[in-house]
Amino acid sequence: YNWHDHVSNGYVIGHKLLVVGIVDRKRRVLIPVAWEILHRDLSEETGINGPMHEKGWEVAARLLKELATFGFPKLTVTADSWFAGEEFFDALDDAQFAFVIEIKSNRNVARWGRRTLGIRVDDFFSDKRRTMIQFRRKKKFAADAVLRFKDADRSLKVVAVANHKPLDDKAFAYYVSNKLTWSADKIWGLSRDRWGIEVQFRELKQLFTLGEAAVRSKQAVETSISVAAIALTVIRLEQLADADTNENQHVRPIPAGTIVRDLQVESMLLSISKLASNSEPRH
């Protein structure tokens, strides 16, 4: 269906794929657990005339609740600013999920403690003292505060992260969490685990050509995406199994591309071997 392309600032026909995965923080890989294309029409369920689709945050909240009913642990949820909204925050909080989600710098801060404000979050942190934080030996500088955004019923812990300590270096990212006692270090570290999501989509596109669907029907597109996600899950499990057998616990897993190429070579050699064994001897 039509969706907004932020790069061209126009609309294209395509599919939005939402994936819920579990991040192995030690090995820095993400294993797909559940996925869904964001095109489910709700017009029949709601009785509203015309197409009406689930919002991204609604799909995410629903999948997380469904996973919880199957016994999946309620781990910390991380997501980018596309999911940042009070409705999603409330849904996660009500379902007792801890979360760390990136927000945009223009969010309006309504209250700080007993003080009524009404300024953007980047303006709020423009004069706040920063302290050094670390994640995987990378140093950044952050300021944090418990704030309440405009039209929100709950206060959140907000962390502003910058590359340098002086305030003339503007913060490059802002994160919120419903865990008000968590440190800026912990929130920054959890937010960095999202990189595994970006790597996952890159590998789905590179290894399984997920960028452009070779089919057109809704069922065929969903099937092709599921096959690719299942294949990537199998590769992820092989990566982790190989890493667990390595004596050096700090070695990164074998790249997914290497495993795919090895499987392709193994399949090719097996096919050649079968052809050779079935051919008639020549004189």
Query: 3-state DSSP helix/strand/coil percent for the chain, to nearest 5?
Result: 40, 25, 35
What is the per-residue pLDDT for 129?
A: 94
What is the per-residue pLDDT for 2?
A: 65
What is the per-residue pLDDT for 185?
A: 93
What is the per-residue pLDDT for 261?
A: 74
Determine the Cα–Cα distance for residues 28 and 194; give it in Å rounded to an integer: 10
Contact partners, residue 14, CB within 8 Å, separation at least 6: 1, 3
Determine the Cα–Cα distance for residues 231 and 235; give it in Å rounded to an integer: 6
Note the Cα 253 to chain centre separation in Å.
Answer: 20
What does the angle CA 49 – CA 53 – CA 59 come to, to the nearest 5 degrees? 145
Q: Which residue has the tokens 């960095």?
A: 192
What is the per-residue pLDDT for 282?
A: 54
Residue 232, helix vs strand vs coil:
helix
First to last CA, the chain: 62
What is the per-residue pLDDT for 10?
A: 79
**88 exposed, middle or buried (CB, 10 Å; 0-12, 13-18, 19+)?**
buried
Q: Which residue has the tokens 């689930």?
A: 54
How many CB atoms neighbour CB 97 within 10 A? 17
Tokens of 261: 């190429």
Pairing mode of beta strands 115-120, 138-149: unpaired
Looking at the DSSP assignment, which residues form a beta bridge with residue 7? none
Residue 36, helix vs strand vs coil:
strand
Q: Determine the residue type at 96.
A: Q
Decide: 130 and 167 in contact? Cβ < 8 Å: yes
What is the per-residue pLDDT for 281?
A: 58
In tens digits, what is the pLDDT along the chain, a chain of 283 residues?
666 666 778 776 677 788 898 888 887 888 888 888 876 666 666 566 656 677 889 999 999 999 999 988 999 999 999 899 999 999 999 999 999 999 999 999 999 988 898 899 999 999 999 999 998 888 999 999 999 999 898 999 999 999 999 998 999 999 999 999 999 999 999 998 888 777 877 877 777 777 676 777 777 777 888 888 888 888 888 877 776 666 555 556 777 777 777 776 777 777 777 777 766 555 5
What is the per-residue pLDDT for 3?
A: 62
